[in-house]
Amino acid sequence: MAEASLATPRLRLARADELLDIFYPAISAYIQRHPYTIPDELEREGEWHVQRIFIQESPDPAWSLLLSEVIHHLRSALDNLVWQLIRLNGEEPTCRSQFPIYTKRAPSVERLDTMLGGVGDDHRTRIEDLQPHLGGDHPVRRALSELVQASNVDKHRFLHGAFGVMRNAPKPEVSFRDESVHSRLEVVYQYGPLEDGAVFVRYRFQARGEAHVDVNSAFPIEIVFGDRELGGDTIEELRLRVVEIVESFASDFD
């Protein structure tokens, strides 16, 4: 039987890092090219003035494949970890050996016996304590919940498509041609996916005469992926937490 080692999980994590070294700069370069046009001119819709966004360059579909590979290696690193923990315990893994991730309810003892059969009692307890269904303010549990859902969608349904969103934006400054005129400004942002030509911000103000809205067109736009809107911060958090899990067992292999 091969000697137990963390070499394979670490190789997977290193490969995920290599992919992210392509992934992050590509998205950053895309944003820096200002792929969205936001005209300063506002359109009138009843009592509202609206601003639209126009997409000049769509996100690269290949980014979804890169993310798919990253998710695959992160999830597989955990399964590979279980295999090595079983060998470390002097047992032989089976085709059903894997790292369990249960988000809604506790699995049966029989199910865990199947997935973690051969894992030492202490290691099994540590893995069970990480299960997301236990809840609480636990960053590793939250990350595992995100990871397993992203992995299941990617493997069984579809690639996580890339699209732009606006999560928050600064309140625009409003100036009037007659500085003595006072006005009350109301701003409503249309958060969510940014589609070509869509209204993404509405302004309503009260003023005598003509008012001019000084619009800041540099709205914070982020590229996210899939129904759960996985952004760069979330993806990096998943990577960090999987590394944390794998390396938490490192001393046992010394």
pLDDT of residue 28: 95
pTM (predicted TM-score): 0.88
Would you say residue 130 has pLDDT above 70? yes
Q: In which residue are the tokens 């990871």 written? A: 147
**pLDDT single digits (tens) 153-188:** 999 898 999 988 877 766 666 555 555 455 677 888
Q: How far apart are CA 208 and CA 111, in angstroms?
A: 71
Q: Do residues 55 and 36 lie in contact, with contact meaning Cβ atoms separated by under 8 Å?
A: yes
**pLDDT single digits (tens) 8-50:** 999 999 999 999 999 999 999 999 998 988 887 778 888 888 8
Q: Do residues 96 and 46 lie in contact, with contact meaning Cβ atoms separated by under 8 Å?
A: no
Would you say residue 218 has pLDDT above 70? no
Would you say residue 227 has pLDDT above 80? yes
pLDDT of residue 44: 84
Report DSSP state, residue 252.
G
Q: How far apart are CA 22 and CA 45, in angstroms?
A: 43
Q: How far apart are CA 16 and CA 206, in angstroms?
A: 53
Q: How far apart are CA 212 and CA 47, in angstroms?
A: 15
pLDDT-derived band at 90, boundaries 50, 70, 90 = very high
**How do beta strands 173-176 and 211-214 pair?**
antiparallel
